[in-house]
């Protein structure tokens, strides 16, 4: 293998590489550390070399060299993924895409960018012409668009637009293959699903065409409640109010808000909280709805102060887990979607059943035209067996769990092997070199 790597290094002299072992080890990591189950399983997994292509021609050159020498490639954006998606299981090349940062164009309602563009950068650029990202993970400040598409699922904005995998939320992708003679293939329409959320095993995304949403002035609001289920019902009701435009409806059962030290003065002990982002034209309607559910508005920041002081978005989605873990590292989490017909009933049943072992953190999202509670519950972790019991209990009740404690793609959110993705995989990665070890069906064919 060493000679192969030397050959690789020699072939890539005009492309930036990193071989310093400390740097390579750092760039082999992601945020799977949120999972006590994944940490021991991924310990010590490092790449051999980091390669940083500046453009698609360089990506093709790296791909051709790796295909010829049968060296695995693990693609990396910002490395903020939570499932060890960009931790290399079999060494090889870490392909760092962060130099490919060009915003190719922004038109009304759509943008085309290179894969390494940061979500916040695209958002800012689009806002200049009245548009913004439809949805973004709470890591938007650092995460790349290629990493979001290959490894993420939705986030801030999903209450309005649904998830990334929903038809229409991704318009086109350009991917480089790992064939003997690598090509760049453009996928449009439903074909984008061949690569969407494929964890970099189905080609290297070099460009993305993504639809945008209207850029509203977003106000940030905290509402507190004495009763958790009242807070949850308020969230559902605000979600259902189609005329009120919102970007985040996050509901936290006590004691979760106590992990948000910066918000302490707005959330009294033992109360439950809603963190909201609402379009300013809809704000006038909010106090009436809050009153109907017996809540208290304790904090409100106008859109014109966005970017100053507190940023409520960075307490929602998986940032909630980040804040909780900064206080208590034994805390981990689940990712759930409750069924549309009996969502809140099940939320209540599971809230009562698990008590503080599984603390409720709801994120309302739109699924197939209906607003449902999704959740990133915080779990007080004891053992892997107990964690699996908790997961199975939810599933038996009809809650969908995208298990964040596995690095096997089919065992996470996907559940089944998508035959279209598989067919595409066989074509673009004939030697099984792309992020090997992450899929059940396709094992690394060399060694
Ligand atoms: P990486 O972690 O670098 O990569 C993710 C996956 O994509 C890997 O499998 C990698 O191989 C692949 N990949 C990266 N670039 C390419 C490319 N160009 N071509 C092919 N494959 C590629 N996720 C959400 O969906 N919603 C959230 O709200 C959310 N909140 C988070 C909060 C915290 C605190 C943390 C730590 C994570 C959160 N995440 C969330 C997960 C993650 O931050 C996002 O999914 C993010 O968009 C990933 O982007 P990245 O550039 O860091 O990708």
* pLDDT tens across the length of the chain (447 residues): 568 889 999 999 999 999 999 999 999 999 999 999 999 999 999 999 999 999 999 999 999 999 999 999 999 999 999 999 999 999 999 999 999 999 999 999 999 999 999 999 999 999 999 999 999 999 999 999 999 999 999 999 999 999 999 999 999 999 999 999 999 999 999 999 999 999 999 999 999 999 999 999 999 999 999 999 999 999 999 999 999 999 999 999 999 999 999 999 999 999 999 999 999 999 999 999 999 999 999 999 999 999 899 999 999 999 999 999 999 999 999 999 999 999 899 999 999 999 999 999 999 999 999 999 999 999 999 999 999 999 999 999 999 999 999 999 988 877 777 888 889 999 999 999 999 999 987 655 543
Q: Which atom of ligand 1 is nearest to the CA of 319?
A: 34
Query: DSSP assignment, residue 196?
Result: T
What's the distance, CA 434 to chain centroid? 20
Closest CA to 252 of 279, 287, 214, 224: 224
Q: Give the three-state DSSP class for 378.
A: strand
Residue 80 in contact with ligand 1 by CB distance below 6 A: yes
Residue 144 in contact with ligand 1 by CB distance below 6 A: yes
Phi, psi of 404 (to 5 degrees): -90, 10
The reply to whether ipTM tops 0.90 is yes
The span from the CA of 319 to the CA of 324, in Å, is 9
Q: Which atom of ligand 1 is nearest to the CA of 321?
A: 34
Burial of 212 (0-12, 13-18, 19+ CB in 10 A): buried
| Domains annotated on the chain, with CATH | 2-96 (3.30.43.10), 103-214 (3.30.465.10), 218-305+336-401 (3.40.462.40)
Query: According to the model, what pLDDT value does residue 440 have?
Result: 83
Query: How much is the CA Rg of the chain, to the nearest whole Å?
Result: 22
Residue 143 in contact with ligand 1 by CB distance below 6 A: yes
Residues 6+ apart with CB under 8 A from 2: none
Q: Which atom of ligand 1 is nearest to the CA of 80?
A: 52
Query: According to the model, what pLDDT value does residue 6 have?
Result: 92
Residue 86 in contact with ligand 1 by CB distance below 6 A: yes
| 367 touches 340 (CB < 8 A) | yes
Residue count of the chain: 447
- Alpha helix stretches (DSSP H) within 245-316: 280-283, 286-292
| 4 touches 65 (CB < 8 A) | no
- Alpha-carbon torsion (169, 124, 304, 250), positive or negative: positive
Residue 322 in contact with ligand 1 by CB distance below 6 A: yes
Ligand 1: residue whose CA is nearest its atom 14: 147
E-strand ranges in 35-109 read: 49-52, 73-76, 93-96, 103-107
| 82 touches 318 (CB < 8 A) | yes
Please compute, for residue 70, the number of CA atoms within 13 A of its CA located in the half-sphere on the CB side: 9
Ligand 1: residue whose CA is nearest its atom 26: 137
Phi, psi of 346 (to 5 degrees): -70, -35
Pull the structure tokens for residue 126: 């689009």
Across 69-104, b (16+ Cβ under 10 Å) vs e yields: bbbbbbbbbbbbbbbbbbbbbbbbbbbbbbebbebe
Burial of 291 (0-12, 13-18, 19+ CB in 10 A): exposed
Residue 151 in contact with ligand 1 by CB distance below 6 A: yes
Residues 6+ apart with CB under 8 A from 43: none
Pull the structure tokens for residue 247: 């970007």
Q: Which atom of ligand 1 is nearest to the CA of 30?
A: 2
For a mutational test of ligand 1's pocket, the pick from 27, 50, 81, 317, i.e. the residue with the most ligand atoms closer than 8 A to its C-beta, is 81
Query: How would you list the strands of the sheet with 93-96, edge to edge?
Result: 16-18, 49-52, 93-96, 73-76
For a mutational test of ligand 1's pocket, the pick from 52, 80, 331, i.e. the residue with the most ligand atoms closer than 8 A to its C-beta, is 80
Q: Which atom of ligand 1 is nearest to the CA of 34?
A: 36
Query: According to the model, what pLDDT value does residue 414 have?
Result: 74
The span from the CA of 169 to the CA of 299, in Å, is 32
Strand partners, 95: 51, 75
CA of 151 to the centre of ligand 1 (A): 5
Strand partners, 223: 274, 297
Residue 333 in contact with ligand 1 by CB distance below 6 A: no
Pull the structure tokens for residue 433: 């070199």
Residue 155 in contact with ligand 1 by CB distance below 6 A: yes
Across 406-417, b (16+ Cβ under 10 Å) vs e yields: bbebeebbbeee
Pull the structure tokens for residue 410: 């089919």
The span from the CA of 420 to the CA of 193, in Å, is 8
Query: According to the model, what pLDDT value does residue 307 have?
Result: 85
Query: DSSP assignment, residue 83?
Result: S
Query: According to the model, what pLDDT value does residue 284 have?
Result: 97
Residue 76 in contact with ligand 1 by CB distance below 6 A: yes
E-strand ranges in 163-286 read: 172-176, 184-188, 204-214, 218-225, 246-252, 272-279
């Amino acid at each position: 293998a060493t000679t192969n790597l030397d050959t690789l290094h020699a072939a890539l002299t005009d492309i930036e590489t990193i071989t310093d072992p400390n740097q390579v080890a750092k760039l082999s990591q992601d945020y799977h550390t949120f999972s006590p189950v994944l940490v021991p399983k991924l310990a010590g997994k490092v790449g051999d070399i980091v390669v940083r292509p500046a453009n698609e021609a360089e990506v093709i050159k790296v791909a051709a060299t790796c295909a010829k020498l049968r060296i695995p490639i693990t693609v990396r954006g910002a490395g903020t993924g939570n499932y060890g998606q960009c931790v290399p299981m079999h060494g090889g090349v870490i392909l760092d895409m962060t130099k490919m940062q060009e915003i190719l164009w922004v038109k009304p309602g759509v943008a085309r960018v290179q894969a390494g563009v940061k979500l916040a950068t695209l958002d800012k650029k689009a806002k200049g012409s009245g548009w913004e990202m439809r949805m973004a993970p709470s890591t938007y400040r650092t995460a790349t668009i290629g990493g979001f598409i290959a490894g993420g699922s939705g986030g801030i904005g999903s209450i309005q637009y649904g998830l990334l995998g929903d038809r229409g939320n991704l318009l086109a992708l350009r991917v480089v293959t790992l064939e003997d003679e690598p090509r760049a293939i453009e996928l449009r329409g439903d074909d984008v699903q061949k690569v969407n959320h494929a964890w970099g095993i189905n080609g290297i995304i070099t460009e993305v065409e993504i639809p945008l949403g209207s850029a509203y002035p977003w106000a940030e609001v905290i509402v507190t409640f004495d009763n958790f289920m009242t807070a949850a019902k308020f969230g559902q009701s605000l979600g259902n109010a189609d005329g009120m435009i919102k970007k985040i409806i996050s509901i936290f059962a006590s004691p979760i808000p106590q992990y948000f030290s910066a918000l302490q003065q707005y959330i009294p002990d033992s109360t439950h909280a809603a963190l909201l982002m609402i379009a300013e034209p809809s704000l006038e309607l909010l106090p009436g709805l809050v009153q109907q559910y017996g809540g208290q508005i304790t904090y409100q920041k106008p859109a014109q102060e966005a970017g100053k002081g507190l940023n409520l978005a960075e307490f929602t989605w998986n940032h909630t887990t980040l804040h909780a873990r900064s206080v208590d590292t034994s805390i981990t989490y689940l990712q759930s979607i409750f069924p549309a017909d009996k969502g809140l009933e099940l939320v209540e049943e599971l809230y009562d059943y698990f008590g503080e072992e599984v603390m409720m953190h709801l994120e309302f999202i739109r699924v197939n035209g209906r607003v449902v509670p999704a959740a990133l519950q915080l779990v007080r972790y004891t053992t892997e067996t107990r964690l699996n019991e908790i997961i199975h209990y939810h599933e038996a009740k009809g809650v969908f769990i995208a298990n964040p404690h596995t690095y096997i793609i089919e065992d996470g959110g996907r559940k089944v092997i998508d035959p279209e993705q598989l067919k595409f995989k066989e074509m673009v990665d004939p030697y099984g070199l792309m992020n090997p070890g992450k899929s059940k069906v396709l094992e690394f064919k060399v060694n």
